[in-house]
Amino acid sequence: MVENTQLHIEGMSCASCVGRIEKALQQVTGVITASVNLANETASITGNADTAALIAAVNNAGYQIKQRQQQYHVSGMTCSSCAGRVEKALLKVPGVLSAQVNLATEQVNLTLLESVDAATLQQALAGSGYTLAEKPLSTAAADSDTTPFYRQAWWPVVGAAVLTLPLVLPMLGMLFGEDWMLPALWQWLLATPVQFYFGARFYKAGWGAVKAGSGNMDLLVAIGTSAAYGLSLYLWYSFDGHHGMPHLYFESSAAVLTLVLLGKFLEHRAKRRTTDALRALENLKPSEARVKRDGSWQLVAAATVQSGETVQVKPGERIAVDGEVLSGDSHVDEALISGESLPLHKSSSDKVVGGALNLDGVLELRATSVGAESTLAKIIRLVEQAQGAKAPVQALVDKISSIFVPVVLVIALITLLGWGFNSGDWTLGILNAVAVLVIACPCALGLATPAAIMAGTGTAARHGILVKDAVALERATRIDYVVFDKTGTLTEGKPQLNQLTALSGTDTDLLQLAVSLQQHSEHPLAKAILARAEQENIAPLAITDFAVVAGKGVKAQHEGAELMLGSSHWMRELGLELPLDRITAKGASISWLARKQQQNIELLGLFCFSDMLKPHAKAAVAQLQQQGVKVAMLTGDSKASAEVVAAELKLDSYQAEVLPADKASFIQQCQREGYQVAMVGDGINDAPALAQADLGIAMATGTEVAVSAAAITLMRGEPVLVAAALTLAGKTYRKIQQNLFWAFIFNIIGIPLAALGYLNPVIAGAAMASSSLLVVSNALLLQRWKIKE
């Protein structure tokens, strides 16, 4: 089939780019014509080529295809077979590169080409009985108007139960020797509304599955209950008036439908709890903000606040945007955002986070990040991404689910024929086949993994641990070596200058040169120098050609000489002999100031900095070691400083005076030795190591680069959260294993028992309903987990 595909291409700058891309595309198998438009940066391809092959061709030519991540709500899914069918339907749409359906949240995460719109996606699902909501969502899975009626209210379950109860009570009476059986007409009048009104959704969804050439839970329930209902009609119609009224099975069909509806309703209620953390984050967004415009305070929609505007926050109000305090003093509660249990004091120049609660003072702040760029919005996106992602183990479940319904239908047919031919009792054969169909529900299989992941990531978010995806969770369970950066990770990252020694000139001159080099730096050591200079009222000198030497220090020109301030390692590279005997501060971080004029280099002085360990650093290392995890530290600081910290924390190993590239090399060496390594850092220089590690863990108190390179982000700069993250990941995966065990055991035991006649349809229906509820409830136990400090 010939198709027209349009790709949006980044990186084109001239006509030669157009020629290269067209040549690359025309070499792809299946391409008939390919034309590139430089003006609107698009390529139009005619043919039947695979989209992935087209993208690869453009990438190999040195250009990029514009893609986007999009999340939609899908209504109408009832089991893992439905989820698989939705994925297949969407992947057939040209331009859909990947599709991952999460049954628990009823949402699909798509990777799309820019040319794919929502209408095309909706059309792809139109014939399969599912509805795609155009707007991306976070909590709509629980609140969507398109959800089936039994999820919007409890009355359909009660209505079905009221009609079913008179049919089931006679079964109870039989235990006491009582005959409470209703006349056949009354049984039919009670069972028919349950079958065709309250049970109509099963027929509708089951028919959608049949039209799509597959099966789902609804099809099994519809066939099973229809068989019991139809058998009752047949027995009633064929009754000849002799030997008493035969037993009819209207109660079986009605009871099964009622139990399934009840199970689904309870399951939905339980599933809502798995998104509690996400819903709580959403509720932190204030709808209004008080902004200073045209000389007066105006109450405006929070979404309209612009970066740089002045915002006022009164006591008891939530902060609408990320910002920097301009004036005022107050305590701010950031518990739901960072997991920090105690309110934090905020005053002038302090940073505040949107969504935090202002407790006792009036704050005026300058908005720095608004809308989608705010910390809260990024957290919500990360939690949504993690809860919507599939764990690698889910691939096996998906394969099983794809063949589950056809296999069950075959087993039910064999059960019917086996009992019919061997015993001659076709009525019993039909009932046993119905029991097989009813108990074999693939819902529990579909919910086992996503329910645990949602509960685990939600609980993690509540404690200030943000997990990017399910792959990160699985990797965290295998970690046996954790490598920490030192400054800002194990230590406070707020060093103080406790020794200043001039080797040439005066201490004042030395400090003035140092503050001149560091006047615009955000490095913790630079801030310590700036703080000392401010105390002594020393103003910086004019410098030129300032530059950062990665992993070593900084340099600049001053009065015809080059000034260099940095590590001992750098000074030795420059050929300088270091007078280490002049260092009096034990275990300090050392920086040296050198000056180069023409070919002469001389040391001007040294600076020693002390940095306190974080309060829970020792406990964090001990907890990791108790879990059987080796703990190491990498730092660019001096060996003396690293040795003191390593001894106090009782680390398994450490390396000092390490360059950023060497940190990644150390990670590689550990991996070659067979370790699964996690790297914990907070700075730009940690980014290569975070990317190299099997699991990157970044402190959100650090740089944006470090956070983006990591798979797990800790909203508080507490190393104890590292052990907590690994512990919670292990507990989450144990819940996945437990859920899969229960989901499989229900079917492995239940289907043979039903086929052999040991389960009647009513008991089978109750077992099927309880299996889904069990796996979701088991996952919810993760919400009780607390951090051990």
Point out the residues that are catalytic. Answer: 485
DSSP state of 197: I
- What's the start-to-end Cα distance of the chain, in Å? 62
Q: How far is residue 311's CA from residue 362's CA, in Å, rounded to a whole number?
A: 11
| Three-state SS at 310 | strand
Q: Report the amino acid identity of residue 218.
A: D
Helix%, strand%, coil% for the chain, nearest 5: 50, 20, 30
CB 416 within 8 A of CB 428: no
DSSP state of 613: B
DSSP state of 195: I
Q: How far is residue 759's CA from residue 743's CA, in Å, rounded to a whole number?
A: 18
Computed on alpha carbons and rounded to an integer, the radius of gyration of the chain in Å comes to 33
- In this structure, the number of other CB atoms found within 10 A of the CB of residue 195 comes to 25
Q: How far is residue 413's CA from residue 426's CA, in Å, rounded to a whole number?
A: 12
| Three-state SS at 332 | strand
Print the SS3 string covering 353-401.
Answer: CCCCEECCCCEEEEEEECHHHCHHHHHHHHHHHHHHCCCCCHHHHHHHH
CB 461 within 8 A of CB 713: no
689: CB partners within 8 A, 6+ apart: 483, 485, 634, 660, 663, 664, 666, 667, 679, 681, 696
CB 385 within 8 A of CB 278: no
Written as six digits, the tokens of 151 are 């999820």
CB 223 within 8 A of CB 206: yes
Q: Which own/partner contact pairs does 692-698 have at CB distance under 8 Å and 24+ positions apart?
A: 692/664, 692/667, 692/668, 693/483, 693/667, 694/475, 694/478, 694/479, 695/472, 695/475, 695/476, 695/479, 697/722, 697/725
Residue 674: which region, alpha, beta or left (left: phi > 0; alpha: psi -120 to 50)? left
CB 787 within 8 A of CB 281: no
Q: How many residues does the chain have?
A: 789
Nearest to 86 by CA among 186, 194, 190, 216: 216
- In this structure, the number of other CB atoms found within 10 A of the CB of residue 41 comes to 17
HSE value, Cβ hemisphere, 13 Å, CA-based, for 700 = 21
Q: How far is residue 566's CA from residue 49's CA, in Å, rounded to a whole number?
A: 56
Print the SS3 string covering 679-736.
Answer: EEECCHHHHHHHHHCCEEEEECCCCHHHHHHCCEEECCCCCHHHHHHHHHHHHHHHHH
Between the CA of residue 758 and those of 228, 255, 257, 754, what are the distances in Å? 17, 18, 20, 6
Q: What is the DSSP string of 489-554?
A: TTB-S--EEEEEEESSS-HHHHHHHHHHHHTT---HHHHHHHHHHHHTTPPPPP-EEEEEETTTEE
Nearest to 86 by CA among 120, 52, 129: 129
